[in-house]
Amino acid sequence: MTKEDLMQQAAIAAANAYAPYSKFLVGAALETPDGQIFLGCNVENASYGLGRCAEQTAIQKMISEGSRTFTQIAVYTHASPPSSPCGACRQILFEFAPDALVYMTNHKGEVLESTVRDLLPLGFGPKDLDSV
Ligand code: THU
Q: Determine the average pLDDT of the residues in 7-36.
A: 98
Q: Determine the average pLDDT of the residues in 112-125.
A: 98
What pLDDT does residue 10 have?
A: 99
Question: For the segment 55-75, what is each residue's pLDDT rounded down to a tens digit?
Answer: 999 999 999 999 999 999 999
For the chain, the structural domain boundaries read 3-129
Distance 128 CA to ligand 1 centre (A): 28
Q: What average pLDDT does the structure give for the chain?
A: 98
- Testing ligand 1's pocket by substitution, the residue of 26, 59, 60, 103 carrying the most ligand atoms inside 8 A of its CB is 26
**Strand-strand pairing, 101-106 and 72-77:** parallel
For residues 99, 56, 5 and 98, what is the CA-based torsion angle, rounded to 10 degrees?
0
pLDDT tier, 132 (very low <50, low <70, confident <90, very high otherwise): confident
CA pair distance 117, 25, nearest whole angstrom: 25
CA 1 from chain centre, in angstroms, equals 16
Residue nearest atom 9 in ligand 1 by C-alpha distance: 53
pLDDT > 90? residue 109: yes
Using the 8-state DSSP alphabet, how is residue 50 labeled?
A: G
Amino acid at 89: C
Question: For the segment 3-17, what is each residue's pLDDT rounded down to a tens digit?
Answer: 999 999 999 999 999
Contacts of residue 94, defined as CB under 8 A and 6 or more positions apart, other chains included, come to 116, 117, 120, 123, 124, 125
CA pair distance 59, 61, nearest whole angstrom: 5
Using the 8-state DSSP alphabet, how is residue 11 labeled?
A: H
- Testing ligand 1's pocket by substitution, the residue of 16, 18, 21, 22 carrying the most ligand atoms inside 8 A of its CB is 22
Residue nearest atom 7 in ligand 1 by C-alpha distance: 86
Distance 76 CA to ligand 1 centre (A): 11
Active-site residue 95, yes or no? no
Distance 92 CA to ligand 1 centre (A): 14
Q: Does the global pTM surpass 0.85? A: yes
On whether the 3-129 domain is CATH 3.40.140.10, my answer is yes
Question: For the segment 75-92, what is each residue's pLDDT rounded down to a tens digit?
Answer: 999 999 999 999 999 999
